[in-house]
Amino acid sequence: MSRHWTDDYYGDLYYESVADLLTARMSGFEAGLIRRLLAIGPRDRVLDLACGHGRHARALSPEVGLLVGLDRNTEYLALARHSGAALVRGDLRALPFRPGSLDALYSWYSSLFMYDDEENARCLAAAVALLRPGGRIVVHHDNPSRLRRQPEQAIQWDMPSGGRVEESSVYDPATGRDSCTRRVIRADGSVLAGVAHLRYYTPEEWEGLAGRCGLDLLGITSTWQADRPAERLDDDAPDLIAIGRRSA
């Protein structure tokens, strides 16, 4: 695969800026939510798409029969080596697994839809094809309804290392695309910078996307509303979680 913006953004830049924010408590909460939404148990074969440094895998791997973590970044995979997952280096656009070989899979933190709409649909369809009929999938990304209310944002925060993170983002409601510029100013004065280009789908768009990709859409929820996934997504919810099942 040719070089992509993710190769620069999802490296030291991303990891250094969020490592202290993605606490074990948060990861455990999210892993528990993933487990419940996927309805997985001790005999299931589960794939973590874009597993990063394995924070969800650490919590989920003891609960399932097999957890596989896939990521393109070799440094992230090295950080995930004690997660209990079987780790595979690979690209979302060329998944190296046998169709129908999994019971469930999940993609968390906007890690699936990083391309144009046609490529995003191909990635989702290829992921769904890895599932046995009736296998479940959970996809998590930001909530476009919330972003539509405040399409331009700028935040800063200090890192425990003494460095600083500066981030600005612009969301285009017409295309559903968010461009996020992030800079890490390290304590020694060196700077890391990159831009992420992410696509967020509305619940209505998810209906069409699921149909194209062989997926029965079971519900749309958020981390705020996960106990009631059949209800309408709250416009102010911080995120969107799509829950689906491979069509028979």
Same domain, 175 and 213: no
Give the model's pLDDT for residue 3: 81
Same domain, 22 and 127: yes
Same domain, 116 and 129: yes
Same domain, 113 and 182: no
Joined together, the tokens standing for residue 188 give: 């020694």
Joined together, the tokens standing for residue 123 give: 């990635």
Distance CA 38, CA 9 (A): 29
Same domain, 15 and 38: yes
Distance CA 232, CA 247 (A): 23
| E runs forming strands in the chain | 45-49, 66-71, 86-89, 102-107, 131-142, 152-158, 164-172, 177-185, 191-199, 215-221, 239-246
Same domain, 108 and 223: yes
Average pLDDT of each block of 10 consecutive residues along the chain (248 residues)? 84 94 93 96 97 96 98 96 97 96 96 94 98 98 96 96 96 97 96 97 97 95 81 91 94
Give the model's pLDDT for residue 147: 97
Distance CA 190, CA 182 (A): 14
CATH of the domain at 239: 3.40.50.150
Same domain, 14 and 101: yes
Residue finishing a domain among 164, 182, 197: 197
Joined together, the tokens standing for residue 235 give: 């416009």
Same domain, 161 and 82: no
What domain range is 169 assigned to? 146-197
Same domain, 183 and 232: no
Contact 184, 200 (CB under 8 A): no
Per-position DSSP letters for 117-180, written without gaps between them: HHHHHHHHHHHHHTEEEEEEEEEEEE-HHHHHHS-EEEEEEE-TTS-EEEEEEEEETTTTEEEE
Same domain, 119 and 160: no
Same domain, 121 and 152: no
Same domain, 184 and 113: no
Give the model's pLDDT for residue 132: 98
DSSP-derived 3-state class of residue 192: strand
Domain count, the chain: 2
